[in-house]
A and B are shown apart, each in its own frame.
Chain A
């Protein structure tokens, strides 16, 4: 992966920059020792690493602003960081950048059940937001699989979603306001506990901007009352196509499940060997979950079972107890770990229109043969968000490159059928160079103009999202100035 050459002038001023930061911030907030900054050299896309110039871990918005003002004045790039679980290299440092991590900012600032929101510092982990309100039977809806570790900061930057977003939407649909510090160190309050924007929807633009427009330090999040209950059903099919058709039919029938998850045979086999969830051996299986009172759940599952039966399922297993429900989810939840046990893999993240599911799965199967690399599929079928896992051998020379080429072909296929390059993980550096397959120059130009407005010097989270060739002129103009 090509990255811009680090700015030698900044590297040579490292000690001065560190001194300025140390003088303005509490001692413990600044890390510059070479061994210690190494802990921040990558996020969960571990194939790419680069230790940063220094790391700053502030405790307050004011400290974030102080750090940014210094970096801005010194012309030093800044990479915002939450928990570092990005799978797209979104938090990958450059050698001449300062990592600005919000992990120490994890307080709950306000909970308000009457108005149904919670205000938190953005270093707080996703799951612990729900943890803070579940005693009152409330929850925070977006649920990325990394929710135990990932921070609200990263969720906002990546507009993260999870298994339940078919019903509850992704981060942007559950975010009411943020406190954000611009690269120049100005503190902005955007949105709040009221609904809808007053002027332009800046909140909507910040969500999903991958840490390139500002550093979010506080967030007002919508919280919801938990449903009375939820129950999954597992449905097995002897072909991917039929499973795909069943997904469409369920949606068309007017039921809105909270989740429809899909696993194919390679994934089922690996998962069974690992987690022993008792899944049927078949070509494809769906896990469909519905919510409501016991009677409502019965009614909805009845409808779903009726639809599924028309597609001749090889298995239809409705959870009869809490324990059975857990077992149905167990395999799905262990899928990534299971695949990791048997192979190195690369997890892709593209989205397609649900109607294209059978075609895309067929093409992936064919390409798998052409490339000679195995693929397992596990994904959120209700919203077409695919996660093909390409299996490869990290110790075999050339295998990673082959895997990357195969991955790029799959993502291009997603775009070809009317989908997109990433449904939840973000562009980061991983998909940066594929952006031109989805966007025309004018489309990218329009997005870069927004960056120009918030961060005119292009210092925040460098070399992410936009292909280097496309952003070169802007980046160089800034260096010259």
Chain B
């Protein structure tokens, strides 16, 4: 294992690398096709470089533990808007998730529907490409259209185009209060309809999920205490046609509930493979009907988490659909056999392969992880 302590050391290491490398941050998540290669850890590149609460920006080295970033923000009453999930329980891994890993995987939680994904809050990156060149893009200001936006390209590229060394975010104030509205007994179709009504209301719903096994549909409101009370009331009125609404306001309970949902705790420790499917919300119930396993819905119905028997090729079962399915948790053998990431149409796959070739000409960075 190699573990550079500086960006320039990393650059030299990559320039001189002789074979494939498996890039790890906290090493907490074996997603994607298993990578054969020497481990390259970025954990040594750690520390918050700059934090300006008055400008809503934070810059950290890629190996900084996510927890350290979140604690620094919390101390100023701010947070990462995209609510990154902690996947350790679901995947049964240990270690400390890093901020670079969050970016490399574009990890976003329930608030994605309102505040955007990780890539939407990410405003700058520094990385080292497969030839050892140090590249920066974006910066530490919220608005920046200077040149092409490689910040987005790096988010969700899972360490296959470059090794991130530094990431910059725009952050938001953490709200004073939150509430969960809960509806019982809706069918999947009714639930998606109810969530569409809620998300189409002016009450700024920041979470909308449906848990068929609990028979619950959940809506979250956040903001100043007075706003939350007002919005919860109005939203409850709006939801009345869908049945009785319970409102939960205790800060602990609300946080706990959405964290459990964010981290897909329901499937933690349960036998089977876990898939993550992204579709247009109203397509959710139809897709779920074809899954034939346990499901839960986030993002108003647009994100489906599915637990299916080990080795199931869910994509074959679903056939063609608008969206994508990722095999997130499965035995290495399964992840070697079934493409973990949705295969793309030929023209897009060709572009992706060319990008990979230009940023990593020798194919040494997490080879095969996303696409063969």
Contact = CB atoms under 8 A, between A and B. Distances in A.
23 contacts: A114-B196, A116-B200, A192-B322, A195-B278, A198-B344, A202-B348, A207-B149, A208-B149, A251-B56, A296-B226, A296-B230, A351-B143, A353-B52, A355-B55, A380-B143, A420-B141, A442-B133, A442-B135, A443-B137, A446-B150, A449-B358, A449-B359, A450-B358
A400 B30 CA distance: 59
A-B complex: 6 closest residue pairs judged by Cβ atoms: A204-B152, A198-B324, A248-B54, A423-B143, A254-B173, A193-B280
B97 to A, nearest CB: 19
A427 interface: yes
A431 interface: yes
Given A188-B347, A198-B342, A454-B351, A443 B196 contact: no
B133 A445 contact: yes
A195 B147 contact: no
Interface stretch (B1-9, B65-73, B110-118, B262-270): B110-118
A443 B135 contact: yes
Given A198-B342, A443-B135, A435 B147 contact: yes
Contacts, number: 256
B363 interface: no
B278 A116 contact: no
Contacts of A194: 278-280, 302, 322-324
A444 B119 CA distance: 21
A446 B133 contact: yes
Interface majority SS (helix, strand, loop, mixed), chain B: mixed
Size bracket, chain A contacts: 35 or more
A258 to B, nearest CB: 12
Given A251-B54, A420-B139, 17 more contacts: A172-B152, A190-B348, A195-B302, A198-B278, A198-B326, A255-B173, A351-B142, A354-B54, A380-B143, A384-B141, A420-B141, A424-B143, A427-B145, A449-B355, A450-B148, A450-B153, A450-B355
B303 interface: yes
A452 interface: yes
Contact of B144 (A197, A207, A423): A423
B288 interface: no
A451 B153 CA distance: 13
A193 B139 CA distance: 29
B299 A195 contact: yes
A158 B143 CA distance: 12
Contacts of A425: 145
Contacts of A353: 52, 55, 57, 140-141
A379 B278 CA distance: 38
Contacts of A293: 227, 230, 234
Given A205-B149, A254-B77, A453 B135 contact: no
Given A385-B143, A454-B351, A114 B227 contact: no
Contacts of B77: 254
B148 A205 contact: yes
Contacts of A203: 152
Interface in A191-244: 192-205, 207-209, 225-228
B94 interface: no
Contacts of B156: 196-197, 200-201
A393 interface: no
A324 B112 CA distance: 36
A121 to B, nearest CB: 19
Nearest to B351: A453
B217 interface: no
A353 B352 CA distance: 34
Interface residues of B, number: 85
A442 B134 contact: yes
A421 B141 CA distance: 11
Contacts of B55: 248, 251, 353-355, 384
A227 B176 contact: no
Interface in A122-139: 137-138
A273 B54 CA distance: 34
A308 to B, nearest CB: 15
Contact of A446 (B106, B129, B141): B129
A181 to B, nearest CB: 11
A186 interface: yes
B354 interface: yes
A201 B157 CA distance: 8
B200 A199 contact: no
Interface in A449-471: 449-454, 465
Contacts of A419: 139, 141
A64 to B, nearest CB: 16
A382 to B, nearest CB: 8
A201 B106 contact: yes
B155 interface: yes
A249 interface: yes
A453 B172 contact: no
A331 to B, nearest CB: 23
